[in-house]
Amino acid sequence: MKFFVDTADVKEIKDLAATGLLDGVTTNPSLVAKSGAPSFLKLIEEICGIVSGPVSAEVAATDYETMIKEGRKLANIAKNVAVKVPLTQDGLRVCKELTDDGIMVNVTLCFSAAQAILAAKAGATFISPFVGRLDDIGQDGLKLIEEIVTIYQNYPDFETEVLVASIRHPIHLTESAKMGAHVATIPPDVIRKLFAHPLTDKGLAAFVDDWKKTGQTIL
């Protein structure tokens, strides 16, 4: 499973990229606003220089004519930009056109398996089903991941990767991985939770204490 970090915070991206475990980045208008970056285009360019994997940059418009222009402009920033478009009729039209031109596209705001089928038929590079937001309204977000993965596996011609979004905790990640989702985009704080386990901390503390008792050094 590939790990993307879901943030527009350059400092966070640099820190996590240094682990060598980061495969890409996803941003959205809300995350960009939160970052306080004065220039969206320059921000995406900077992020693309930090990571070599896909960097999702979302269009701001909702109509076809403007979205296609914005999408092409974003794609020209760097080769690893994945243009992010909404799962609407116009959004999928833009997806098909950009995909035909060899541009990566991330179709976002997916909340049903039927929508995911349409995105795959439009040639999306990634489909982003929002697990946490479905959980918030009393639905089972992970069930949607299971449905999409199963459907895509039934049709080998579908090359779209399932990118699990709106991840709120490590269970969302591990359950999605068990189902066979290709990618998870994870907030920085949740990524850091993946490293943590009380038994790891306890065991490490014991090893460090015992090593001190030997009076030795490795360097």
Beta bridge partners of 161: 126
pLDDT at residue 108, as a whole number: 98
pLDDT at residue 207, as a whole number: 97
pLDDT at residue 149, as a whole number: 98
pLDDT at residue 139, as a whole number: 97
**Residue ranges of domains in the chain, CATH in brackets:** 2-214 (3.20.20.70)
Task: Give the residue ranges of the chain where pLDDT is below 70.
Answer: none
pLDDT at residue 3, as a whole number: 98
pLDDT at residue 15, as a whole number: 97
Q: For residue 87, give the DSSP letter.
A: S
H-helix segments, 137-218: 141-154, 170-179, 188-195, 198-214
pLDDT at residue 197, as a whole number: 95
pTM, to two decimals: 0.95
Nearest CA to 94 among 107, 76, 78?
A: 107
pLDDT at residue 114, as a whole number: 98
Residues belonging to the active site:
84
